[in-house]
Amino acid sequence: MQLSKNLLIKNKLGLHARAATQLVKVSQAYPCEIILECDGKSANANSVMGLLMLAGATGTEITVHCNGEQAEQALQAVEDLINARFHEGE
């Protein structure tokens, strides 16, 4: 199954190292491939460095693509993490 959804980075610091690490942990919990796209660049959600290269600042729209087994659950988990502002307590 392949799913995609546009999401908005809402936390104060954007997609920085700590947020990227949390996203990698969520991604690794699912067997599907998770790819994030931002401003024409893409990165595998299993790569902290790749995610940092997206330079997703606050207010940036990203597209999350999930392809494979448990894609729906993975997309929901990524959406929940982003909507929770990566649990940074802002």
Fold of 2-87: Histidine-containing Protein; Chain: A; (3.30.1340)
DSSP assignment, residue 31?
S
16 is known as an active-site residue: yes
pLDDT of residue 61: 96
pLDDT of residue 89: 73
pLDDT of residue 44: 98
Q: What is the pTM of this model?
A: 0.94
Q: Among residues 5, 10, 16, 18, which one is catalytic?
A: 16
Q: Cβ distance 66 to 7 under 8 Å?
A: no
Per-residue pLDDT tens digits of the chain, which is 90 residues long: 899 999 999 999 999 999 999 999 999 999 999 999 999 999 999 999 999 999 999 999 999 999 999 999 999 999 999 999 998 876
